[in-house]
A and B are shown apart, each in its own frame.
Chain A
């Protein structure tokens, strides 16, 4: 039985607690790094991470990209959408096709 984690700054993620997801508010990148590794190694199948934090943990996230679990999904934070999530999808297309033929003009 797996659980779902949400990690990011408190202001962006506190609402998810009400839904029954486990929220892990972090303040700085160092703290986020250790917490992130603990979550990814634990029994969380899905980890939602705010785009702002994901930008700081790019290297760590990349490690889990080709593993079946956990799925690390970027979500926009309260301060706005940086477009990093969309870029991730585009990156997949680029990796598979060689160039972004689907969403290149968006």
Chain B
């Protein structure tokens, strides 16, 4: 498993142990982050889906109303009616931090507070269907803004979750096992070195004793005497 060669030294061992420690802690933290992000994301995405269905249905019915309105009056009249809108919508944007993901928060303001300012035309030359159509579209607007907020948040969070998941997996399946196998390799190598030093010392001691007392010569002599 140890793909890269490590020096079997004590210093390297401490380094690897520290690395393993950090990796394990980072892995735990990132895993927690991923789980929490996922929990929030799933709530948000369900809301997103609901809003989207609602908005799409709303726009569809508004479109039907507009088509009917268009059928009841001439193209020019319709264009003139909608040419100079009275109302204007502004957005205040803020930012909300969900688990280190910055998501936008929209707050919308209309130029005038009068709800009737969406009708930017005189009622004399337009059909009443147009009023209904404009109203139905105006009713969808708050949901559309909420949808924009929600969908953007979902997009940003899904990207963040993907990144976090990759990091967790890299730590879990690459960094941590690698550090563990390195530590194992170094400890075994160090133990082996220690054993070989021990054996060498024992051998040297034997040789030195032999030299001092000449055991072999004495043994030979004793054998000759008994023979």
Which residues of A does B touch, CB under 8 Å?
Answer: 1-4, 12, 14-21, 45-46, 48, 65-66, 68-69, 71, 73, 75-78, 81, 85-86, 88-89, 92-93, 95-98, 102-103
Contact = CB atoms under 8 A, between A and B. Distances in A.
Contacts of A21: 89
Contacts of B63: 12, 15, 76-78
Contacts of A88: 151
Interface core residue of A17, A20, A76 (most chain B CB under 10 Å): A20
A78 B159 contact: no
Nearest to B88: A20
A31 to B, nearest CB: 20
B179 interface: no
In this complex, the interface size class of chain B, counting residues with CB under 8 Å from chain A, is: 35 or more
B104 A96 contact: no
Interface of B: 38, 41-42, 45-46, 48-49, 52-53, 55-56, 59-60, 62-63, 66-67, 78-79, 82-83, 85-93, 95, 102-104, 106, 108, 110-111, 118-120, 133-134, 137-138, 141, 144-145, 147-149, 151-152, 154-159, 161-162, 165
Contacts, number: 143
B141 A19 contact: yes
Main secondary structure of the interface of A (DSSP, over half): mixed
